[in-house]
Structure 1
């Protein structure tokens, strides 16, 4: 059951789409998929000026990603599983480190490694047929690709322990009420919400968004002094950019026009 990815780009929005060779089957993740995902992320990074937002989604209407390819997983040993986990961390970190907002568009089941893909994104927007969970303990495994630290950061330690220890699956409403996801609605509402979010993002400075995304992520590990220092550095970079200077000039031109209009 092989899974692949395709990258589509239009109007400064990249769509990373998972699909199984057998289109009736759900997408899963193994080392080949991780390598392919890393390649696609590198393609985006190599032309990052062409992207304002990236959306990660599945071609299948009932499955986002259902986790690791168990056929591949059962072949692993205590030594080879370390490489499996390490590669997943490398690639999912690369998703998180993209300097543009990344949206997980989830329809259907996002389980195990599939949820961990979504957790590496900035936002998780779901259709109301979505189901999310970290069921690894059911098979005697721990979360292997970031669930043990990204899930608690998103929903809190106690709720993360509850979800992981029980291995239960949440429907979209339950996930929203737990603060695991940021939006749920029917497919039409989901598409509308994503388009509105993208439009609002694109109105703002891409440089500033990329900078503040990094500041927020770094704040998890930084002390207050380091966060203050990094804000100062980022502010220096922003004010030196042509985009910021143009936005400031445009603001004051509009202010002057409004002022004259009131006279």
Structure 2
């Protein structure tokens, strides 16, 4: 287990929980924190996590954004390196070989919103506030927001959110399709834990394959995506989980997944 100062990684019954732990800075993402998240994602994968929860420490923020005090005086080259680090982290969340749930338990602005966008599922507490707020800093989304947000909420809604830098509450985020559900603030931890446990109880390789094929829908043409789906689908035949799942169904019993 690695020793990080700005994040925590906990494992319990197949579920890894990655908590950004800078509550005094509203969990803002500096270089140290991004690098720690990148390492933690690799560790969670090595530990065989069957589901991953991404959240923030404290009562106020999921991740309030990138660290503005760090960004203020960056050169173009330094900003490029920072963008590449943020993109690597978001990409690794998106490609993590198990479902990732973002538990948005407070502010999720800028880079924090972008990390949530890279997750598979987003659950917001009723007092969460989200937004791509970079325009009011004189910049634009730099960790994937300009690409992932339109795919979730549609082109014009994404343009409005990014152009105006609007901060929207959890219910509006749900209506736009930015989050999948909204729950009471005092219930979000238990609710997300239940979701993650349900996912961790599913067949690991089929779930990873489902995530891969769904991600392909955003990366290629429909024709190529359908070819990819056929290969992945047929490749699961002969696996223990495929045999167990179908045997259990025919025997009318609960499956015993690997």
TM value normalised by structure 2 = 0.92
Q: Number of residue pairs matched?
A: 250
Superposed, which structure 2 residues align to 1:100-249 within 5 Å? 100-249=98-247
Q: Which secondary structure state, in structure 2, belongs to the residue aligned with residue 181 of structure 1?
A: coil
Query: Contact conserved, 2:41 with 2:93, CA < 8 A, in 1?
Result: yes
SS of residue paired to 2:25: coil
Partner deviation per Cα, 1:12-45 (whole Å, 9 max, x = no partner): 111000111xx44311112221111110011012
Within 2, Cα distance between the matches of 1:24 and 1:221? 38
- Measure the CA separation in 1 of the matches of 2:120 and 2:222: 22
Query: Is the CA contact (8 Å cut-off) linking 2:101 and 2:196 kept in structure 1?
Result: no
1:28 is aligned to: 28
In the TM superposition, what is the alpha-carbon distance from 1:56 to its structure 2 partner? Answer: 0.4
Unmatched tracts of structure 2, length 5 or more: 254-258
- Helix, strand or coil: the match of 2:220? coil
Alignment deviations for residues 157-200 of structure 1 (CA, whole Å, 9 cap, x no partner): 10000001111100111111111111112134434532442344
Superposition deviation, residue 3 in structure 1: 7.1
The residue aligned with 2:12 is 10
Q: Is the 8 A contact 1:3 1:18 kept in 2?
A: no
Query: What are the ranges of 5 or more consecutive residues in structure 1 without an aligned counterpart?
Result: 256-263
- Residues 22-81 of structure 1 show CA distances to partners (whole Å, capped at 9, x for unaligned) of x44311112221111110011012122xx2210000111111111111111012111211
Q: Give the match's secondary structure for 2:141.
A: coil
Q: Is this contact kept in 1: 2:41–2:92, CA < 8 A? A: yes
The answer to whether structure 1 residue 46 and structure 2 residue 40 are counterparts is no
Question: Among 48, 51, 65, which residue is 1:67 paired with?
Answer: 65
Equivalents in 2 of 1:254, 1:212: separation in Å? Answer: 24
Runs of 4+ in structure 1 off by over 6 angstroms are none
> Quick check: which has more Rg, 1 or 2?
1
Aligned mates of 1:192, 1:74 — CA distance in 2: 38
Q: C-alpha offsets along residues 197-249 of structure 1, whole Å, 9 cap, x if unaligned?
A: 23442443221111011111112122233222211221222112111111111
Match in the other structure for 2:256: none
Larger mean CA deviation between 189-198 and 96-105 belongs to 189-198
Between 1 and 2, higher relative CO (CA 8 Å, sep ≥ 6) is seen in: 2
Q: Normalization by structure 1: what TM-score?
A: 0.90
Alpha-carbon displacement from aligned partner over 1:119-138 (angstroms, at most 9, x marks no partner): 01011101111000111010
CA distance in 2, matches of 1:208, 1:121: 18
